[in-house]
Amino acid sequence: MAASVAARAPAEPSLRRAVTPWGSFSWGYSDVGADIFVGLGLVLGAAAGASNVAFLFAGLVYVCIGLAYTELAAAYPVAGGGQYFVFRGLGDIFGFIAGWAVLLDFTIDIVLFAWSSIDYLSKLVPILSFTAHPWVHFVVVFVVITGLALLNIIGVRESSAFNELVSGLDIVSETSILFFGFFFAFQPQLLVHTMQLSWPTTFNLMNGVSLAIISFVGLESISQAAQETQRPASVIPRTSISLILTILIFALSYSNLALGMQPWHALPLDAHGHTQPLWRYLGNEENNGSAVAVLASYVPYFGALAALYVPLLGAILLLISSNSGVFGSSRIAYAMSGTQLLPSAFQRVHKKFRTPALSISVFCGVAIVELIFAALPSLSPHVHALYARLFRGEDGITFLGDLYAFGAAASYSFVFIALISLRFNDSQSPRRFKMPFNIPITFRGNRVEFPVVAVIGFIGIASILVFTMITHEIGRIAGPTWLILGTIGYLFYRRRKRLPVFRSQPHDWRKAQINILQSAGELEMMDEYLVNIRRMDERRVAEHIGPL
């Protein structure tokens, strides 16, 4: 049966499947692994002595998210990630909203990681410090974003081998920091004392939880790479579970270490001339963008060496993540344009470089606008005074974190709903991996396993979305504004093109699924899928319902 379908299928150009299991892991790690470099200081600054609790709550939600993405990417191994899953499970307009939220995250990806990359370099080159030299920092970040845009337009991406090397080095480095820190400087009684003495208010704890989800964003990368992964149905579950556990262990370990570590030499005095704990020093405005490097420098025996290379390694990993944002935003826009969720202009390819130059330019332009908004308060005293009145004087990297958390929470919420919908409406698609704890039920004559973990995950991520709206003044204005303006543009575009506005266009999902599985080389899954839909059609005919 597979051979007959393969013979009928037209030969079309597709992405080359060259991503190995380690390549798939490192592809995701270069995004998710970089997040702790950004998120640690932000959470410490917000949640104080309950930072580990904030990471734990966000981490449990992240496990649910990871399981959902693992199931969906293995069942539908095609580029597009969460946007495609929602598009397929919930229809056109929700597919657009989810994709538009992901695009917000990708543009924030570009500027947030470029910003933090320069923050880490500033530990070696002090003139790059944003607090001391904001204009220099701003110009350098601007040049980095512009340079990444140009590189992607001419078709230069990070080497997969280089990506894998940096990811491997970073895992070794982060493990070494934790080993030396816990072995030589961690004091459990100090951790307990810090949690008791510096427990935050409920508002600040919610703020910390909403920022902690930043440390777990990036699973899109593995699902984005599904179309280029060898045997994705078997490879993706292994790499995803490994990535989930690695990042969860790192996030929980770093937060507990920061709260309970006695540094090997004295910290600088605070603004009032008093000694300060390590966690507060890591969470202040000067260090919250480079907290891992600062923490590493205070680890006994290892700190002197770490102070020399961790800033550079962190900067490289963050730069790769920033570049992933450039590439990811253009890929999502290109895919959405192909399904008429965005104007066809976003699908145009440069005649010379064969890259989606317009998509790259537009969304890097959005990233530059976000950079200006983030940096402006420090560049202009008048704007700083206005921000202080309106937004509690949030610094630039916290502003970016606000939007990042909003975009992630919004898109992940739709993914959980889409997974539940696909369990009911596409039960014929084989799932080599399923989220645990399912309740078997019958729906329209079909056996369906209702995913309990998806419901728990939705409640968790919806809570984080609510926390973000409550605690982030900028996030609750800029985030919804992005979605509202995008949706208005979508409705106008669909009406002008005489396409269904609130309804979906007709889609032949059966044919699409057969092509996806055939392209993935998952011929056994394709045969199983064909058998499942034939049996369903035969049963429907026998029941005088008729085939779908």
* Cα 198 from chain centroid (whole Å): 30
pLDDT digits (tens, 9 = 90+) for 493-546: 999 999 999 999 999 999 999 998 888 788 889 999 999 999 888 887 777 655
Which H/E stretch holds residue 195? Answer: helix 188-197
Q: Which residues contact 214 (CB under 8 A, 6 or more apart)?
A: 35, 38, 39, 42, 401, 404, 405, 408
What is the per-residue pLDDT for 168? 86
User: Which pLDDT band, with edges at 50, 70 and 90, does 53 fall under?
Assistant: very high
Q: Tell me which amino acid residue 12 is.
A: E
Is 236:73 a contact under the CB 8 Å cutoff? yes
409 in a structural domain = yes
What is the per-residue pLDDT for 16? 43
What is the per-residue pLDDT for 405? 86
Tally of structural domains, the chain: 1
- The fraction of the chain above a pLDDT of 90, given in percent, is 50
d(CA 288, CA 116): 9
pLDDT digits (tens, 9 = 90+) for 112-145: 999 999 999 999 999 999 888 889 999 999 999 9
Spell out a b/e string for 160-181, using b for 16 or more CB atoms within 10 Å of the CB, else e: beebbebbeebbebbebbbebb
pLDDT exceeds 90 at position 85: yes
For residue 261, what is the DSSP state?
B
Spell out a b/e string for 395-417, using b for 16 or more CB atoms within 10 Å of the CB, else e: bbbbbbbbbbbbbbbbbbbbbbb
Pairing of strands 446-451, 438-443: antiparallel
Q: Tell me which amino acid residue 472 is.
A: H
Which H/E stretch holds residue 448? Answer: strand 446-451
**Among 90, 97, 156, 134, residue whose Cα is nearest residue 407:** 97
Average pLDDT taken over every residue of the chain: 85
| Residue 380 CB neighbour total at 10 angstroms | 13
- The fraction of the chain above a pLDDT of 70, given in percent, is 86
Query: Look-up: residue for tokens 């989220």?
Result: 435
Rg (CA), the chain: 24
Residue 108: which domain range?
A: 27-496
**Among 152, 218, 244, 148, residue whose Cα is nearest residue 407:** 218
Percent helix, strand and coil across the chain, each rounded to 5? 75, 5, 25
In this prediction, residues 374-386 reach a mean pLDDT of 70
Is 387:40 a contact under the CB 8 Å cutoff? no
In this prediction, residues 387-400 reach a mean pLDDT of 62
532 in a structural domain = no
Long-range Cβ pairs for the range 141-147 (8 Å, 24+):
141/111, 141/114, 141/115, 141/371, 141/375, 142/368, 142/371, 144/114, 144/117, 144/118, 144/319, 144/322, 145/110, 145/111, 145/114, 145/322, 145/364, 145/367, 145/368, 145/371, 146/364, 146/368
pLDDT exceeds 60 at position 69: yes
282 in a structural domain = yes
What is the per-residue pLDDT for 4? 42
pLDDT exceeds 70 at position 6: no
From residue 297, give the alpha-carbon distance in Å to each of 51, 94, 121, 256, 307: 20, 46, 14, 17, 5
Which H/E stretch holds residue 416? Answer: helix 396-425
User: Which pLDDT band, with edges at 50, 70 and 90, does 111 fall under?
Assistant: very high
Is 428:22 a contact under the CB 8 Å cutoff? no
9 in a structural domain = no
What tokens were used for 109?
Answer: 């990806």
**DSSP assignment string, 21-60:** HHHHHHHHHHHHHHHHHHHHHHHHHHHGGGHHHHHHHHHH
User: Which pLDDT band, with edges at 50, 70 and 90, does 18 fall under?
Assistant: very low
What tokens were used for 155?
Answer: 């078709």
Which domain CATH number covers 261? 1.20.1740.10
What is the per-residue pLDDT for 15? 40
65 in a structural domain = yes
502 in a structural domain = no
pLDDT digits (tens, 9 = 90+) for 432-491: 899 999 999 988 777 889 999 999 999 999 999 999 889 887 778 888 999 999 999 999
Is 464:409 a contact under the CB 8 Å cutoff? yes
519 in a structural domain = no
d(CA 107, CA 362): 10
User: Which tops the pLDDT comparison, 255 or 8?
Assistant: 255
Is 415:86 a contact under the CB 8 Å cutoff? yes
What torsion do the CA atoms of 133, 135, 141, 143 make, to the nearest 10 degrees?
-130
510 in a structural domain = no
